[in-house]
Amino acid sequence: MRKQILLIDDDLPLCRKLREALQDDTTEVRYFIDTAEALDSFMRHRYCLVIIDPALEDMDGRELLRTMRQAKVVPILVLTGILSLEDEIELLSLGATVCNSKPIDLRRCTAQAHALIRLYMESEHTEKQYYTLTFGTELVINPLHRQVHLKERAIQLTRREFDLLYLLASRPGQVFSREQLYSHIWNADTEFGVDEAVRFQIKSLRKKLTRTRGSYIQTVRGIGYRFDSEKE
């Protein structure tokens, strides 16, 4: 699966230069001028880096930055004009990982981009060093042997059901959109059939994770799902 970079800037010549510098056989660069379209793409796809100029006319760029940081853990490289120290601190507090002043040095910017992608990929690898999750004495999820025990009874799950459960349970309380779940579990970026595929797997998983009261997997209306780790 190719790595994907999201570029949001209304400077088309710069966008083309960055895409030419960063795109290759293993990396795809998608760029947007319209921030609403960019945000929609960000939520639907799995990006390993976002490059953004927050000085955008059709939306408060700083609010967009904050929204992206709250939605996903992904490095964000901010390209902007000369900033005061206070402005740079504000951008970093809103979610920027690195700030780079315009006019940019293309070699420096691409080196920063590659370094951020490398850190992201290494963190993804670290996350995959799975560990057993336990919720009291009721639910135990063992990723090494891909086993789930509910009230000391083994539960048979399909590969996708297990991966879905482990992803949600490893971050209890965090809300995942259907697009995020699809991107992680199906490891694909298609925009067709996402809702139905995720709903089917969630429904099947819930049937197997019977609980006296409530459900381990809660629906957050209009957004997606989260794992409830609270004891009954």
Give the domains, in start order, of the chain with CATH numbers. 3-126 (3.40.50.2300), 133-227 (1.10.10.10)
Which amino acid is present at 171? Answer: R
Hunting for tokens 């009261």 — which residue is that? 213
Handedness of CA 228, 213, 135, 216 (dihedral sign): negative
Q: Which residues of the chain fall below pLDDT 70?
A: 1, 56-59, 124-130, 187-192, 211-214, 231-232
Q: Tell me the pLDDT tens digit for each residue of 97-141.
A: 999 988 999 999 999 999 999 988 877 655 555 678 888 778 899
Helices 85-94 and 61-71, packing angle to 10 deg: 40
Tell me the pTM. Answer: 0.58
Which amino acid is present at 30? Answer: R
Let me know: does 47 contact 4? Beta carbons within 8 Å. yes
